[in-house]
Amino acid sequence: MMEVTDNVSNEPVAGRAPLILGGHDFHSITTAVATPAESATPLAWWFFFIPSLGMLGLLGVAVGWLVWEGIGVWGLNQPVGWAFDITNFVFWIGIGHAGTLISAVLFLFRQKWRTSINRAAEAMTIFAVMCALLFPGIHIGRPWLAYWMAPLPNQMGTWPGFRSPLLWDFFAVSTYGTVSALFWYIGLIPDLATMRDRAKTQARRYAYGFFALGWRGSARNWQHYEMAYLILAGLATPLVLSVHSIVSMDFAVAQLPGWHTTIFPPYFVAGAIFSGFAMVTTLMVITRTALRLEKILTPFHFDRMARIMLTTGSIVGYAYSMEFFIAWFSQNPYEQFAFINRAFGPYWWAYWTMISCNVLSPQVFWFRKARTSMPILFIVSIFINIGMWFERFVIIVTSLHRDFLPSSWGMFYPTMWDVMLLIGSFGLFFTMFCLFVRFLPVIAAAEVKSVLPAANPHANGHAALDLDAPTMVSPHLAPKGVH
């Protein structure tokens, strides 16, 4: 059986069990992290990159045709006015949330194990937000007028309606994209400097050096840097909760049965974290094998992510059942019909796909063997990705297709352009991720170094047995003067 170290309870006198295995020192961490971005492009990379690029090409065609021809190329119409477009939007924005959760929330909770996965998770956030932003942009029908959402003075003297959740969404998602990108870039600077200092060619030195901004590991700089990182984490945490709450209000503020529910904000946030962790797991299982980072991304990290998936999956399952309970408890016939129709109406298959993928499949994570087995983690994370896409599809399409008046009922059938856009958005996401793992350090090397035992300035002296020694807490956040 795989040995999983528990760095919370198993504390020998000398400190916690190591987060990083294989007797790594500072230099070997640098080498392990930087080598994949420095060595010749492996053949396997092309196997991922070329199909991704092909899918990105599909996206270009699908968006081009949509802009040329109009929204009519999609399958949506009355009564289902939102379908794949908004499903994809909510799906992608939810994926992004795990990145922020790992980088910001776990940082504030001093979970040092995050250092091995936060960089890739943050990158994932940015690419997911890029995919997400695409859909509201194109579903408005005339994408060249998308700037009308911004409060810009104009010759018509008009202003956007700030009381609409759809406009809140515009502000929330664009702020989220900006802050995520800043957070990611700030975290990258020390590692870009590492890449600059290891560069063998002038072109690489200039390219990495330009973005490293002249970073030279100065303690005076680290002081402001760590403060900035802490503040950004503190800002990103309420931000990430607000973003998916606001996304859920796009639905909850409407009067439609199935949407008009107060449970939506927390339910959406939990679902977002759930789907995001699933996507991180999918990507990291591949990345750790492809880049040979098994010693840095240990089963311990996957065990922790699986626990979060189990927890948030259960919260989502609770929300599904609570919706039914409230439909019964409210004695509102429209609400009752909406939920019975959701489970047993024409889209029953979508509903039960969602339930089996989101509620049933993560239950295997009750077992430690499943939480540390890469094949099981990979398969379950794919199930969750599918289930969470269907969750948004179920909420949006089943609620819209049969509302109050039976005379206005209808069905939604996707066209090939709908499907191409969905596939194409995955193309955009995977192309960006392939470029990221090819050219940038996938692991936050500077942060990983700071959790090594040797990073403790008191490791060799009298403080070796001091249980309050600084390595016991986050190196960024320990109260001043504990040593």
Partner 1 sequence: MALVPPLFPEGEYFGLLAEYDSAGSLFHACEKVRDAGYRKWDAHSPFPVHGIEKAMGLGRSRLPYVTLLFGLTGVIGGMSLQIWANAIAYPMAISGKPLFNWQPYVPITFECGILLAALSTVVGMFAFNKLPMLFHPLFGAAGFEKVTDDGFFISVEAWDPKFDAAATERLLASTGATHVQLVKRREGAAS
Residues 185-214 that bind partner 1 (CB under 8 A): 186, 190, 193-194, 196-198, 209-210, 213-214
Give the footprint of partner 1 on residues 248-287 (CB under 8 A). 249
* CA–CA gap between residue 71 and residue 66 (Å, rounded): 6
Least CB distance to partner 1 at residue 30 (A): 5
Among candidates 301, 299, 283, which has minimal Cα distance to 291? 283
- Piece in contact with partner 1 (CB under 8 A), picked from 49-57, 78-86, 176-184, 336-344: 176-184
Least CB distance to partner 1 at residue 51 (A): 35
Helices (H), 360-462: 368-372, 374-393, 399-401, 416-439, 445-450
Least CB distance to partner 1 at residue 218 (A): 5
* CA–CA gap between residue 146 and residue 1 (Å, rounded): 55
Q: Is 375 in the site for partner 1 (CB under 8 A)?
A: no
Least CB distance to partner 1 at residue 400 (A): 21
* CA–CA gap between residue 132 and residue 129 (Å, rounded): 5
Beta carbon nearer to partner 1, 227 or 340: 227
Determine the longest span between alpha carbons in the chain, in angstroms: 81
* AA identity, residue 125: T
User: Facing residues of 80 across strands?
Assistant: 77
- Piece in contact with partner 1 (CB under 8 A), picked from 92-100, 216-224, 367-375, 419-427: 216-224
First CA to last CA across the chain, in angstroms?
A: 38
Q: Is 35 in the site for partner 1 (CB under 8 A)?
A: no
Give the footprint of partner 1 on residues 64-103 (CB under 8 A). none
Q: Is 46 in the site for partner 1 (CB under 8 A)?
A: no
Question: Do 244 and 265 touch, CB atoms closer than 8 A?
Answer: yes
Least CB distance to partner 1 at residue 230 (A): 9
Query: Residue 324 belongs to what H/E stretch?
Result: helix 299-329
Q: Is 227 in the site for partner 1 (CB under 8 A)?
A: yes
Q: Is 461 in the site for partner 1 (CB under 8 A)?
A: yes
* CA–CA gap between residue 322 and residue 368 (Å, rounded): 29
Q: Is 171 in the site for partner 1 (CB under 8 A)?
A: yes
Pattern 430-459, partner 1, x by CB under 8 A: ----------------xx-xx---xxxxxx
Residue from 65, 222, 348, 439 in contact with partner 1 (CB under 8 A)? 222
Pattern 137-166, partner 1, x by CB under 8 A: --------------x-----xxxxxxx-x-
Least CB distance to partner 1 at residue 452 (A): 9
According to DSSP, residue 164 is labeled S
The set of residues, in sequence order, having a beta carbon less than 8 Å from that of 151 and lying 6+ positions away, is 159, 160, 162
Residue with tokens 């929204």: 71
Q: How far is CA 365 from CA 320, 341, 418, in A?
A: 20, 31, 34
* CA–CA gap between residue 475 and residue 478 (Å, rounded): 6
Residue from 5, 77, 221, 332 in contact with partner 1 (CB under 8 A)? 221
Question: Do 243 and 97 touch, CB atoms closer than 8 A?
Answer: yes
Beta carbon nearer to partner 1, 249 or 350: 249
Phi, psi of 376 (to 5 degrees): -65, -45
Beta carbon nearer to partner 1, 254 or 376: 254
Q: Is 355 in the site for partner 1 (CB under 8 A)?
A: no
Residue from 61, 150, 228, 467 in contact with partner 1 (CB under 8 A)? 228
